[in-house]
């Protein structure tokens, strides 16, 4: 989380708050980007070699409702951990050294229903 908040700060974003997490290890963040757009950031982490993916968001419907409540664009932030102490880089070891990889921010675009095909 420190890495993500530092990234947002260096991009001149404004951190507005944290929302309780739903089915996730980290809270959701509410920020304003430098263009003054409100973003609701869903943070998802994974362990090397797996990449955190938007498709793996649990409770997506509830997260969409929360972002709508804030009148914010829903954004995904993927963060991956790599243990440099183990040869495979994918074990969690207490006291080990890790590399944290920020995969960037991706806007979640929800498909509108096609009423012509219903």
Tell me the domain boundaries of the chain: 2-117
- Sorted by sequence, the CB contacts under 8 Å of residue 109 that are 6+ apart come out as none
2-117 has which fold?
A: Trna Endonuclease; Chain: A, domain 1 (3.40.1350)
Q: For the chain, report the end-to-end CA distance as a whole number of angstroms.
A: 42
Q: What is the pLDDT of residue 117?
A: 52
Q: To which residue do tokens 């095909």 refer?
A: 117
| Among 25, 14, 18, 16, residue whose Cα is nearest residue 56 | 25
Q: What is the pLDDT of residue 8?
A: 85
Using 70 as the pLDDT threshold, list the residues of the chain that sit under it.
21-26, 56-58, 111-118
Q: The pTM is what?
A: 0.76
How is residue 40 written in tokens? 């609701």
Q: What is the pLDDT of residue 115?
A: 47
């Amino acid at each position: 989380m420190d890495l993500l908040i530092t990234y947002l700060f260096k991009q001149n974003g404004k951190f507005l708050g944290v929302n309780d997490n739903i089915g996730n290890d980290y809270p959701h963040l509410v920020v304003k980007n430098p263009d003054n757009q409100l973003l609701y950031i869903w943070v998802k982490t994974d362990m090397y070699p797996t990449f955190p993916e938007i498709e793996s968001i649990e409770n997506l419907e509830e997260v969409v409702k929360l972002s709508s409540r804030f009148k914010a664009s829903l954004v995904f932030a993927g963060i991956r951990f790599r243990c440099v102490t183990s040869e495979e880089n994918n074990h969690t070891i207490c006291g080990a050294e890790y590399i944290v990889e920020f995969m960037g921010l991706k806007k979640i675009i929800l498909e509108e229903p096609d009423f012509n095909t219903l």
